[in-house]
Amino acid sequence: ETIRLAFVAALQHLPPRQRAVLILCEVLRWQAAEVAGLLDTSVASVNSALQRARATLSASDIAATDAAPPLDEADRALLARYVDAFERYDIESLTTLIQEDATQSMPPYDMWLCGRDDIFEWWFGPGIGCRGSRVIPTLAANGAPAFGQYKPSPTG
């Protein structure tokens, strides 16, 4: 979860080169020389970008223990509509709720979907098996509202 939070924070707060350097060095544990070779730059440039990325994230006060901000009434209603549509597998309703820039992940699977088209392609393809799932709200995950999805087995 901490790595996922760092990744989300990097996407939101860092310019592309700093983001790439931070993820390669801090998450994937690459050496500065390896990153420099990949990005066609110098080791000094990589170290500088890494230092700036760390400073930016440090100044942003993002922590793995940060709680999600409370939802306002409009967001609670939107989330309730999404959960209801998902549990009924009402694709027409779901398509009206999903934004163009939406993302979807489904831990523990290595899946990251970006954009409506990718999400719909998965929902109508391999994701069709989610039909009949139950959604159980949680407090939050990665600083955002979240829910768990559970599909009963044929035997209950």
Q: Which of 1-15, 52-66, 70-84 has the highest mean pLDDT?
A: 70-84
Residue 92 lies in a domain: yes
Q: How many domains does the chain have?
A: 2
The pLDDT, as a whole number, for residue 123 is 84
Residues 106 and 144 in one domain: yes
* pLDDT at residue 145 is higher than 60: yes
Q: What is the CATH number of the domain that holds 89?
A: 3.10.450.50
Q: Contact 87/133 with Cβ under 8 angstroms?
A: yes
Collapsing DSSP to helix, strand or coil, 89 comes out as coil
Residues 34 and 79 in one domain: no
Segment of 9-13, 51-55, 71-75, 76-80 carrying the highest mean pLDDT: 51-55
Does 93 reside within a domain? Answer: yes
Structural domain of residue 36, as residue ranges? 2-59
Locate 70 and state its tokens: 């409370």
The model's confidence at residue 102, banded by pLDDT at 50, 70 and 90, is: confident
Rounded CA-CA distance 44/10 in Å is 21
Regarding whether 125 and 87 lie in a shared domain, the answer is: yes
156 in a structural domain: no
- Same-domain status, 14 and 45: yes
Helices marked H in the chain: 2-13, 16-22, 32-39, 43-59, 73-88, 91-97, 115-124
pTM, rounded to two decimals: 0.49
